[in-house]
């Protein structure tokens, strides 16, 4: 009984999240993109073109195009993932066709592209967090990855998006629409990454210093961050050295660098952005 209740609770949470995502996606398509002849990539872009040519409902076309993929994906990607994706796609398609009670924005096409792309990325991000997608190119890319492991999912999606953008430019007979579509795709990808990885995004810092012990204590006590000491040897001097490895949140990076410089102005350090940091003190795995 408890397992059954948990499944019902999980289904209701999924449904709520998918509805929120569907509404945001609907606002992006209906208020900012489709009426301005600006495409999003993937199946939504193709559905928008068909809507422009034949007045077919965008959401319905998206769902119909996904049906063959659902059957193929059942065997390859697992029943649980596909069932979530079918439900998310159905809700998303329904939200697009039902529309929203908001005015269509048709003043500045660049603003339309920016806000449309941001809403698309936000909508997809919160759906992806629930281990589902809105179907389309995401499924195709996963299937291609299974068949051809050397082809990345990102590359497959990018190739398909480029195809849709070029097709849209030909159909609309407007080169600018291709440029605005590129803005939408870029912005949506950035927002999507931020939604998925933003909570655990940070920096990794490697520090080489003659005062490694002093810096280690300073980082632990003043910044409340952990430090890993790596044993190394200088390539030229052959002298043994300690290399400090520290991971921190983005908002701590500047403070940490400032502290290192004040403690040892001769310290050598490398700062790299980390898309995701998991573990104790950061996002739970």
pLDDT score, position 283: 57
Report which of 127, 108, 110, 111 is spatially closest to residue 26, judged by C-alpha positions: 127
Q: How confident is the model at residue 122 (pLDDT cuts 50, 70, 90)?
A: very high
Rg (CA), the chain: 24
Q: How confident is the model at residue 126 (pLDDT cuts 50, 70, 90)?
A: very high
Please report, for the domain that includes residue 236, its CATH number. Answer: 3.30.70.120
Q: Does 274 score more than 80 pLDDT? A: no
- Describe the crossing of helices 212-222 and 250-263 by its angle, rounded to 10 degrees: 140
Residues 92 and 232 in one domain: no
Residue 282 lies inside a defined structural domain of this protein:
no
Residues 92 and 78 in one domain: yes
pLDDT score, position 179: 95
Residues 142 and 237 in one domain: no
Residues 189 and 56 in one domain: yes
Could you tell me the residue range of the domain that residue 231 belongs to? 201-274
Q: Which residue has the higher pLDDT, 255 or 93?
A: 93
Report which of 101, 123, 104, 94 is spatially closest to residue 32, judged by C-alpha positions: 104
Q: Which residue has the higher pLDDT, 123 or 238?
A: 123
Looking at the chain, how many residues does it have?
285
pLDDT score, position 52: 95
Residue 168 lies inside a defined structural domain of this protein:
yes
Q: How confident is the model at residue 20 (pLDDT cuts 50, 70, 90)?
A: very high
Quick one: CA dihedral 58, 43, 86, 134, positive or negative?
Answer: negative
Mean pLDDT of the 2-15 span: 83
Structure tokens that stand for 226 in this block:
């952990």
Tally of domains in the chain: 2
- Beta bridge partners of residue 243, listed in sequence order: 208, 230
Q: How confident is the model at residue 28 (pLDDT cuts 50, 70, 90)?
A: very high
SS3 for the chain, per residue?
CHHHHHHHHHHHHHHHHHHHHHHHHHHHHHHHHHHHCCCCCHHHHHHHHHHHHHCCCHHHHHHHHHHHHHHHHHHHHCHHHHHHHHHHHHHHHHHHHHCCCCCCCCCCHHHHHHHHHHHHHHHHHHHHHCCCCCCCHHHHHHHHHHHCCCCCHHHHHHHHHHHHHHHHHHHHCCHHHHHHHHHHHHHHHHHHHHHHHHHHCEEEEEEECCCHHHHHHHHHHHCCCCCEEEEEECCCCCCEEEEEEEEEEHHHHHHHHHHHHHHCCCCEEEEEEECCCECCCCECC
Residue 60 lies inside a defined structural domain of this protein:
yes
Residue 285 lies inside a defined structural domain of this protein:
no
pTM to 2 decimals?
A: 0.78
pLDDT digits 0-9 by tens, 130-177: 888 888 888 888 888 788 887 776 678 888 999 999 999 999 999 999
CB 84 within 8 A of CB 131: yes
Residue 281 lies inside a defined structural domain of this protein:
no
Residues 152 and 228 in one domain: no
Q: How confident is the model at residue 23 (pLDDT cuts 50, 70, 90)?
A: very high
pLDDT score, position 59: 95
Residue whose structure tokens are 């019902």: 8
Q: Across all residues in the chain, what is the average pLDDT? A: 87
Q: How confident is the model at residue 47 (pLDDT cuts 50, 70, 90)?
A: very high
Point out the domain boundary residue: 198, 230, 251.
Answer: 198
Mean pLDDT of the 188-193 span: 88
Q: Does 189 score more than 70 pLDDT? A: yes
Residues 118 and 252 in one domain: no
Mean pLDDT of the 179-191 span: 93
């Amino acid at each position: 009984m408890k397992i059954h209740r948990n499944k019902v609770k999980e289904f209701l949470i999924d449904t709520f999240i998918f509805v929120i995502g569907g509404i945001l996606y609907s606002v992006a398509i209906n208020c900012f993109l489709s009426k301005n002849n600006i495409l999003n990539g993937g199946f939504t872009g193709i559905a928008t073109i068909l809507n422009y040519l034949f007045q077919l409902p965008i959401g319905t076309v998206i769902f119909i195009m996904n049906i063959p993929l659902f059957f193929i994906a059942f065997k390859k990607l697992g029943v649980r993932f596909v069932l979530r994706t079918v439900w998310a796609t159905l809700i998303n398609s329904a939200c697009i066709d039902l529309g929203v009670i908001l005015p269509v924005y048709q003043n500045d096409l660049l603003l339309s592209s920016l806000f449309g792309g941001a809403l698309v990325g936000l909508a997809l991000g919160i759906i992806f967090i629930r281990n589902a997608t809105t179907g389309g190119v995401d499924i195709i890319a996963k299937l291609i990855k299974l068949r051809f492991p050397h082809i990345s999912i990102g590359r497959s999606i990018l190739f398909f998006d480029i195809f849709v953008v070029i097709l849209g430019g030909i159909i609309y007979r407007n080169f600018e629409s291709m440029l605005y579509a590129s803005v939408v795709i870029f912005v949506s990808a950035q927002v999507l990454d931020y939604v998925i990885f933003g909570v655990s995004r940070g920096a990794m810092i490697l520090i080489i210093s003659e005062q490694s012990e002093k810096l280690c204590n300073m980082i632990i006590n003043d910044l409340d961050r952990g430090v890993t000491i790596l044993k190394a040897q200088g390539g030229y001097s052959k002298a043994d050295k300690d290399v400090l490895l520290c991971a921190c949140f983005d908002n701590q990076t500047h403070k940490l660098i400032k502290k290192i410089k004040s403690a040892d102005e001769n310290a050598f350090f490398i700062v790299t952005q980390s898309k995701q940091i998991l573990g104790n003190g950061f996002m739970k795995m």
